[in-house]
């Protein structure tokens, strides 16, 4: 427990005086350093969390949440999986021949009714018809721009599967009409993926209906591991891979980067916290006479230690709370701040073509704030112990003698 005397002396030592100029500077820098460290950590963690969430939403919004692929000629569509929403699909590689340009493309095939139910077709960034009939194709925005083609144009697609002719084997070619242009939000997908009718794709690539995939869509795609376990039980003889499996390296890299940033930025708090040691050490030296008087009137070493510990703890805790407020506010309005800086100085912060996002993402995570605050306060506690112990070990007689 903290006695009333300890509280009053602690508050008295925290008050600034004219002859404590250098001490006040150290205390201010300690306060600012810890606050900035905490604020920067919260901002960085919020941006990293927001970037991860936005990336997941775009990937999940474009891809199937899970895919069941037949192995050893097993027929996945003959098995029951009514627990989830599912559609049939298939895919393959081809080459687009358009005017003077040639482009490798990854074709994804869907039945006409299934194609209309895809999330990418339902959003407002989809332009054109939703009727994916025979020899019609839906392409991405970047692909349309790069090949200078638009809705209503025709393109020639060449299959890697050959057909026998009198002069030998020639690649199969078909003409497709562009019925729509989509925008997935990811430039790589827009540039390299196109949709055609499933039956057309099977005929074009010489695929069998028995080798169709099952694509599953869940209400909670982030809980993908539990869904994968359920699908594994339903389809024990099939290959199952999820959006998480297909982007495992990317999200592993993001996780490592977030942890490394946390460790590096924590050094800011540690360096600032060590200023508290300097400040308290100077405070002990300046308050030597006061310590001697306190001891002479019967104040115990334990109380002296507690008083100086509370001074350091109060500075660190108040700085942490201030940093949390600044970091949270900055995270909430980070996109407004980005736009203000960009417009004021005429520079491009967070360009879309590099980060594949239209705005600076930010997601405030309460657990992250608690962890940052806890670490900051723990560091403050540790650095306050040494100068507090030094103050408690001063000899009262010697301190008064030399004063």
Q: Is the pLDDT of residue 397 over 60?
A: no
pLDDT of residue 354: 62
Task: Assign 19 a pLDDT band (cuts: 50, 70, 90).
Answer: low
In the prediction, which pLDDT does 181 show? 93
Q: Quick one: tokens of 100?
A: 């003077």
pLDDT confidence of residue 85: 65
How many residues comprise the chain?
403
Which range, 67-71, 185-189, 190-194, 254-258, has the best average confidence (pLDDT)?
190-194
> What separation in angstroms does the CA of 182 have from each of 110, 133, 138, 224?
15, 17, 7, 26
pLDDT for the residue numbered 329: 93
Mean pLDDT of the chain: 80
| pLDDT recorded at residue 335 | 85
- Which value, to the nearest 10 degrees, does the dihedral of the CA atoms of residues 390, 392, 398, 400 take? 120
**Which run of H or of E encompasses 358?**
none
pLDDT band for position 18 (cuts 50, 70, 90)? low
Q: Which residues pair with 176 in a beta bridge?
A: 155
Average pLDDT estimate for 307-330: 87
108 band by pLDDT with thresholds 50, 70 and 90: very high
pLDDT at 403: 53
**Banded model confidence at residue 24, pLDDT cuts 50, 70, 90:** low
Q: Residue 319's pLDDT is what?
A: 87
356: pLDDT confidence band, cut at 50, 70 and 90?
low
Interatomic CA distance for residues 169 and 283, integer angstroms: 90
Average pLDDT over residues 158-165: 76
Task: Say if CB 134 and CB 176 are below 8 A apart.
Answer: no
Q: Is residue 358's pLDDT more than 70? A: no
Does residue 322 surpass a pLDDT of 60?
A: yes
Question: pLDDT-based confidence at 243, cuts 50/70/90?
Answer: confident
Pairing state between β 101-110 and 193-197: parallel
The pair of three-digit structure tokens given for residue 71, joined into one six-digit string? 């192995």
- Residues 6+ positions from 19 with CB-CB distance below 8 Å: 286
Distances 304 to 136, 149, 211, 369 between C-alpha atoms, Å: 83, 80, 79, 33
Residue 178: the pLDDT is: 93
| Choice among 34-48, 254-268, 288-302, 375-389 with the minimum mean pLDDT | 288-302
Using CB atoms within 10 Å of the CB of residue 157, give its burial: 0 to 12 exposed, 13 to 18 middle, 19+ buried. Answer: buried
Residue with the larger pLDDT of the pair 105 and 61 = 105
pLDDT surpasses 60 at 75? no
Q: Between residues 295 and 199, which one has the greater pLDDT?
A: 199
Tokens at residue 340, please?
């203000």
pLDDT at position 248, please?
80
b or e along 36-45 (b: 16 or more beta carbons within 10 Å of the residue's beta carbon)? bbbbbbbbbb
The pLDDT, as a whole number, for residue 84 is 60
Which residue in 201, 217, 218, 220 sits closest to 209, CA to CA?
A: 201
Q: Which residues contact 279 (CB under 8 A, 6 or more apart)?
A: 23, 26, 27, 30, 312, 315
Beta strands at 239-242 and 85-98: parallel, antiparallel or unpaired: unpaired
> What is the pLDDT, as a whole number, of residue 394?
67
pTM above 0.85, yes or no: no
SS percent in the chain: helix, strand, coil, step 5: 60, 20, 25
The residue ranges of every structural domain in the chain are 4-55+250-402, 85-217
């Amino acid at each position: 427990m903290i006695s009333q005397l300890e509280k009053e002396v602690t508050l008295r030592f925290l008050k600034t005086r004219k002859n404590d100029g250098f001490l006040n500077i150290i205390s201010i820098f300690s306060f600012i350093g810890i606050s900035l460290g905490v604020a920067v950590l919260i901002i960085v963690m919020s941006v990293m969390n927001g970037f991860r969430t936005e990336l997941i939403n775009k990937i999940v919004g474009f891809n199937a949440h899970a895919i069941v692929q037949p192995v050893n000629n097993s027929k996945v569509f003959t098995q029951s999986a009514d627990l989830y929403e599912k559609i049939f699909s298939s895919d393959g590689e081809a080459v687009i021949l358009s005017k003077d340009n040639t482009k490798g493309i990854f074709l994804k095939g869907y039945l006409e009714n299934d194609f209309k139910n895809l999330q990418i077709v339902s959003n407002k960034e989809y332009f054109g018809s939703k009727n994916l009939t025979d020899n019609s194709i839906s392409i991405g925005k970047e692909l349309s721009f790069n090949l200078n083609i638009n809705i209503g144009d025709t393109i020639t697609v060449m299959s890697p599967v050959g057909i026998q002719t009198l002069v030998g084997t020639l690649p199969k070619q078909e003409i497709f009409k562009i019925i729509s242009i989509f925008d997935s939000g990811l430039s790589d997908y827009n540039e390299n993926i196109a949709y055609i009718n499933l039956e057309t794709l099977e005929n074009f690539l010489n695929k069998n209906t028995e080798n169709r995939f099952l694509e599953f869509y869940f209400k909670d795609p982030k809980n993908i591991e539990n869904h994968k376990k359920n699908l594994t039980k339903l389809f024990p003889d099939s290959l199952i891979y999820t959006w998480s499996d297909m982007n495992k390296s990317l999200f592993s890299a993001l996780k490592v980067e977030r942890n490394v940033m946390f460790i590096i930025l924590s050094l800011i708090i540690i360096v600032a916290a060590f200023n508290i040691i300097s400040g308290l050490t100077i405070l002990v030296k300046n308050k030597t006479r006061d310590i001697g008087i306190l001891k002479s009137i019967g104040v115990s070493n334990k109380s002296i230690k507690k008083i100086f510990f509370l001074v350091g703890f109060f500075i660190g805790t108040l700085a942490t709370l201030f940093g949390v407020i600044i970091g949270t506010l900055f995270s909430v309005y980070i996109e407004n701040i980005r736009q203000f800086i960009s417009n004021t100085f005429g520079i491009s912060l967070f360009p879309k073509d590099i980060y594949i996002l239209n705005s600076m993402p930010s997601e405030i995570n309460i657990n992250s704030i608690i962890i940052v605050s806890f670490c900051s306060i723990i560091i403050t506690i540790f650095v306050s112990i040494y100068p507090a112990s030094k103050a408690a070990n001063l000899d009262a007689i010697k301190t008064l003698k030399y004063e």
